[in-house]
Amino acid sequence: MGISKLLSNILRAKGLEDHHIEALEESGINTKEDFALVGDHQTLTDITGLEEKVSKKVMVWAVGLAPATKPEEVEQVSSSPIVVESSDIVKCVHCNAKQPNDYKTGDLCLSCGNQAEPVQNCHWCLSSGPGKYCRSCGSEFVGSSDFEIALYLKREGESKRAIVAKVKDMDSQEKENMWAKIRRAR
């Protein structure tokens, strides 16, 4: 019993030539299941004399992913690991550095020296608190320099989310024009 026509066509597509297929038949490899018995590309190279590159392609096709023999052959499945952190961890809003366990709101960051969680005023409900979002109404804080502009936009009827988006999208000229409107309204 020799190698079937279908199997020989597949092997030719993988880079084997007629003399390679004859070498496979001489070594007793006649079916795809026989490659599983061979085990790896190095054994296939040893018993048939195939080039290493060709034997790797054949073994990957025949038995699936080739087992890695060297550390440089191991492929990374994921480039970034998943990290699960406790909910009581505080990170600096400026440099994203983790703060020590004894951290209190208003303390300076050990990495960058800024307030890790500056206490800010909410433009929507007028409460204050640390972090990026108001703990009372959930609105995202705007920078302290843009607080008056956000209050003006609220008085003009803008929604909570639209105010934050508009303030972030404004350039310096637009902010200066808004400050002129605020001064006139006083």
**Which is more confident, 64 or 94?**
94
CA distance readout (Å), 25 to 19, 20, 133: 10, 9, 71
Give how many domains the chain has, as a whole number: 3
**Is residue 23 predicted with pLDDT exceeding 80?**
yes
**Is residue 9 predicted with pLDDT exceeding 60?**
yes
Q: Is the dihedral of CA 27, 28, 31, 33 positive or negative?
A: negative
DSSP label at 136?
T
Distance CA 59, CA 14 (A): 10
Same domain, 132 and 166: yes
Question: pLDDT confidence of 79, banded at 50, 70, 90?
Answer: low
Please report the pLDDT score of residue 43 as a whole number.
85
Same domain, 25 and 10: yes
**Is residue 166 predicted with pLDDT exceeding 70?**
yes
Query: Which helix H or strand E contains 120, and what residues bound it?
Result: strand 120-121
Which tokens is 104 given?
């209190």
Same domain, 131 and 99: no
Q: Is residue 180 part of a domain?
A: yes
What value does the mean pLDDT take over residues 13-27? 83
Same domain, 141 and 160: yes
For residues 157, 159, 163 and 164, what is the CA-based torsion angle, rounded to 10 degrees? 170
Please report the pLDDT score of residue 1 as a whole number.
62
**Is residue 124 predicted with pLDDT exceeding 70?**
yes
Distance CA 181, CA 158 (A): 16
pLDDT tens-digit series, residues 127-155: 988 878 888 999 999 988 899 999 999 99
Domain that holds residue 29: 5-65
Percent of the chain, pLDDT > 90? Answer: 16
**Is residue 28 predicted with pLDDT exceeding 50?**
yes
- Those residues whose C-beta lies under 8 Å from the C-beta of residue 160, and which sit 6 or more positions away, are 124, 137, 139
Same domain, 59 and 101: no
Percent of the chain, pLDDT > 70? Answer: 91
